Structure 1
Amino acid sequence: MNTYLLLLFLGLISCSTEEPTDTPETTMGNLTLSVAIDEQVDEQSSQRQKEETLDMKIDIVDVDGKTVDSYASINELPEEIELATGVYTAQGVSTSSKQLGFDDPQYGGTSEDFSIQSDQLTAVSLSCNLQNTMVSVAYSDVVKNQFSVYSSVVKSSFGELAFEQGETRSGYFRSSGSLTVNSTIGEGNSQLNAEVTIDNIQPTTHYTVTIDVDTGTGKLVITVDETVLDGGEKDIVITPVEGEERPDYNTSIGFFTKDGKLYDANGVEFIARGLNNAHFWFDNGGRELALDALTPIAAYHSNAVRLVWQTNYEAKNWNNVEESVQLRKLITTTIDKGMVPMIELHDVTGDESKENLLKMAEFYVRADILAVMKEFESILLINIANEWSGKTTTYRDAYKEAVTMMRNAGLKHTIVIDASGWGQDMTPIFDYGQEIIDNDPQKNILFSVHMYQSYRNEVTITSNLEKAVEMKLPLIVGEFGFQHGGTPEAPIQIPYEHILSECERLGIGWYAWSWKGNSGGVEYLDLSEDWEGTTLTDWGDGIVNDVNGLKNTSKKVSVIN
């Protein structure tokens, strides 16, 4: 595979108005865009042909799908353009409109969502791959040695290409419908014919057609090998890497914990750098505010999202969509954006009843929900309940029973367990955490602490995080803010920069609270001024741009390509 790399420097400079205006000033940012083309042009094609097939139209598209800048050719891109702050994608589309041809591979692609922030430089890569279907025809040595005449015709609904004797180039077809391969070898009475149909042809796919003669029957045989080219799939990919070995007792195909750390299915340590998003409260009533917000959340470098959910789902409030369908859509969208989903139930926040906690476990083992959970075992984390606050042995016994219920139903995922005391009291984790892990046949537990007013000083933050690491208790900071509690005149400040730096030092994952939608006096915890992520709040800017924030420390999980 050859790579054709073009570096396009799009300097997006700041500007301001000279006269006062009643409308807010539009702020601008900076972007460096690199375009990498996975070249599939045949070596014997001329340089001129390569330059023509490799050219593309480049569009810059905003979060609403509106094209804000468009260039007919890569060569027409200016050195500098201006864009308002917000979330965008860069899209490349082939300039060729041919339906088929020997020298006409067509390339295109869409970048991951990226954010333009005021007076900041953002580096973005646009990877462009083959968008049509590639077909190669080869003849076996038997055919070449025994027959002086042979040829094949490959037909689509848009036309046909003749692969005459000696033709070594690949053909390229618009990826629609089917292809029919008709091969002929020999002449006169010794002529042999065969035909095969390739159904539902796909883009970014190479079909290698081999023509041979069965030495036993003398019949002409056509075989087709299908190869998905680079960029042709975006899915959960489990690949053999030099990662941590999964313990024998753990039979999951997804995340696992070992010696206080969290590993993905490849055995690569995963350190969450993400935030919370309130789906249950803002994706109903004909809205998809939180679902759509996954686009800017990913653009601001989150590698994980904690998805707020509750058990009192009523389909009538969700356009009569069944709950399992809605959850599947939510989880799939998160994965498609390149982030690890963690589902959590908010029903029993602050509750101390063991029976109510077990109701949360019962939700996950309900047949329709269980099927969705199992479908995403390779990538999904399950947070049983948000901030359930049972104390001492009640905490221990309730969680042991809840985990057992879920394991008996076949859920092998990493199960996330919040600290007691509205998520802030780690005492039961220190006292009973190892016992809860040992009781789990999968030994696949991840504990979570929420850092609000109880963590108003740096010493408490450091001592609790260090103790968990020393005890090898797998831990994340599942929620935290920069301020919480106190009075409007004297709010309690939380040294969140210290949380970020200590989590980075100790290798602990974190999820900031929360993207948007806070109310009841804690609106200040919104990370974004709007659902679209056009402008971050000061709190959001810190989470994204701090030296230990999302932009500088987030690394995508290895199993999402």
Structure 2
Amino acid sequence: MGALLLALIASLVVAPPAHAAAGMRVKNGRLVEANGRELVLRGINHAYTWYSHQNGSFAAIKAAGANTVRLSLAIGQRWKPANTAADIVGVIALCKQNRLICVVDAHDTMGSGQQTGAATMDQAVEYWISVRDALVGQENYVILNIADEPFGYNHYRTWTEDTIKAVRRLRAAGFQHTLMVDAPDWGQDQSFTMRDNAAKVLAADPTGNLVFDVHMYGVFNTAARVRAYMRSFVDRRLPLVVGEFSDNHPYGKPADDAVMAYAQQYRLGFLGWSWSGNTEAAYLDMVRNFNPTRRTPWGVRFLTGVNGLRANAREATIFGGTDGGTDDGTSRKRWRWSDLWPWSMSQATAARAFPAWPTSPGAVGVSPTTPPLAAALLSRDGTHRAAALQRTTPDGVWVFGPR
């Protein structure tokens, strides 16, 4: 079968601002580093407060391909003892050592109002203020996730006001970090409270340095639901991260393939739950007993499957990341993949054959090998680059990346 000529749909070039602020920031609905480069969080949750002795997990999570780790911390309400300022200094050091962006979350708030013993958002804020000295100055490396999954089902009515209050208190206390706020309804926003009030919450942050975190489990059990939710934020330029999700859940099968595919398509962060240690729900483990060589089916799917972590995570530039650019031998020029990304092709354009690889700027050639459309040669300004199929989206778009 001859090669096919496909049309280029989109390319991405992220330019740094003239005067970059210190630390990570939100700009035009996207998380960027201090140098202005967009940072798409790709990583793994680690239940640190219960497994603080498993410090080898940081290196293993990095080796698995992550650029981010989200760490569950105890604040002394539901779970005791609280993680101390010294604990936080230690985990930040481990994140830096392993070139990982560090998201720290106050886990005791999970399901507040419904879960017995859960902390309130006010108590989470008090905790962060108590450990402020461990966090201030780390704005390039740390995202502060104010409260994990605040409010259970049917307890969401004060989410907007409580979240605005929490954000303002933290800003008044001197926190300039990117703040992450979780949805109510055990993080899943079943009531769409976060979706419908996100713009109001963002506007209430005097710095505008805020990202929204939804957890996609059983509530998001179809590709259509995943896509609609993500599109709502993207279309309004509201920053969104899927801070937790899995391929299995006792209250409905999550549409994990759609989560990963649409997150890739819309350049949204995702963090899978979780590395290991889910004693009563071992199907949520990515590796067994914290052994990185013993991957579970979920771990294999998340780490190396279609749209998986290894193929798509890009190390933060604060650690020296270069957007994944590699020299494939077709040119001495080292290309940053942000110069090309994403080269997306619609299946609707796949019917036109052409006799040779293209040479015109922006042209894309695809070789229909097995599996079909597994390789491509990208041409730009007379320079060729080989590429491999990275992912396909649920609505029929092919996206190629570094081979």
TM-score under structure 1 length normalisation: 0.51
Q: Is 2:84 the counterpart of 1:323? A: yes
Aligned partner of 1:418 in structure 2 is: 182
Q: 2-side partners of 1:462 and 1:246: how far apart?
A: 35
Kept in 2: contact 1:244–1:263 (CA 8 A)? no
Q: 1-side partners of 2:267 and 2:216: how far apart?
A: 17
Q: 2-side partners of 1:493 and 1:420: how far apart?
A: 20
Over 3 Å counting, the alpha-carbon distance change for 1:457 and 1:404 in structure 2 is same
1:259-315 Cα shifts (integer Å, max 9, x gaps): 2111011111000110100110112xxxx12x22111111011000000101129xx
Give the alignment's Cα RMSD to 1 decimal: 2.3
Aligned partner of 1:273 in structure 2 is: 42
* Structure 1 residue 355: Cα displacement: 8.1
Aligned to 2:237, the other structure's residue is in SS state coil
Aligned to 2:300, the other structure's residue is in SS state helix
Q: Is 2:151 the counterpart of 1:382? A: no
Aligned to 1:424, the other structure's residue is in SS state coil
Q: 2-side partners of 1:555 and 1:330: how far apart?
A: 21
Q: 1-side partners of 2:119 and 2:41: how far apart?
A: 31
TM alignment of 1:149-548, pairs within 5 A:
242-244=15-17, 253-283=22-52, 288-289=53-54, 291-312=55-76, 323-352=84-113, 356-366=120-130, 369-389=131-151, 394-425=158-189, 427-486=192-251, 492-520=252-280, 522-548=281-307
1:103-140 Cα shifts (integer Å, max 9, x gaps): xxxxxxxxxxxxxxxxxxxxxxxxxxxxxxxxxxxxxx
Kept in 2: contact 1:346–1:386 (CA 8 A)? yes
Q: 2-side partners of 1:484 and 1:245: how far apart?
A: 46
TM alignment of 1:66-215, pairs within 5 A:
none
* Structure 1 residue 244: Cα displacement: 4.0
**Structure 1 residues not aligned, in runs of 5+:** 1-240, 487-491
* Structure 1 residue 535: Cα displacement: 1.6
Aligned partner of 1:44 in structure 2 is: none
Aligned partner of 1:69 in structure 2 is: none
Kept in 2: contact 1:348–1:356 (CA 8 A)? yes
Moved more, 346-355 or 508-517: 346-355
Kept in 2: contact 1:246–1:256 (CA 8 A)? no
Q: 1-side partners of 2:137 and 2:176: how far apart?
A: 11
Aligned to 2:158, the other structure's residue is in SS state helix
Q: Which amino acid is the alignment partner of residue 29 of structure 2?
A: G
Kept in 2: contact 1:497–1:546 (CA 8 A)? no
Q: 2-side partners of 1:414 and 1:464: how far apart?
A: 22
Q: 1-side partners of 2:18 and 2:213: how far apart?
A: 24
Aligned residues: 300
Aligned partner of 1:148 in structure 2 is: none
Kept in 2: contact 1:309–1:346 (CA 8 A)? yes
Over 3 Å counting, the alpha-carbon distance change for 1:409 and 1:246 in structure 2 is farther
Structure with the bigger percentage of strand: 1
* Structure 1 residue 317: Cα displacement: 7.2
* Structure 1 residue 498: Cα displacement: 1.5
Kept in 1: contact 2:277–2:285 (CA 8 A)? yes
1:31-65 Cα shifts (integer Å, max 9, x gaps): xxxxxxxxxxxxxxxxxxxxxxxxxxxxxxxxxxx
Q: 2-side partners of 1:262 and 1:400: how far apart?
A: 20
Q: 1-side partners of 2:31 and 2:181: how far apart?
A: 14
Aligned to 2:293, the other structure's residue is in SS state coil
Q: 1-side partners of 2:282 and 2:294: how far apart?
A: 15
Kept in 1: contact 2:202–2:210 (CA 8 A)? yes
Over 3 Å counting, the alpha-carbon distance change for 1:265 and 1:519 in structure 2 is same
Q: 2-side partners of 1:295 and 1:425: how far apart?
A: 33
Kept in 2: contact 1:481–1:513 (CA 8 A)? yes
Question: Which structure has the larger Rg over C-alpha atoms?
Answer: 1
Aligned partner of 1:193 in structure 2 is: none
* Structure 1 residue 519: Cα displacement: 2.4
Aligned partner of 1:41 in structure 2 is: none
Q: 1-side partners of 2:28 and 2:35: how far apart?
A: 17
Higher RCO structure, 1 or 2 (CA under 8 Å, sep 6+)? 2
Give identity over the alignment, percent.
27
TM-score under structure 2 length normalisation: 0.70
* Structure 1 residue 245: Cα displacement: 5.4
Q: 2-side partners of 1:385 and 1:501: how far apart?
A: 27
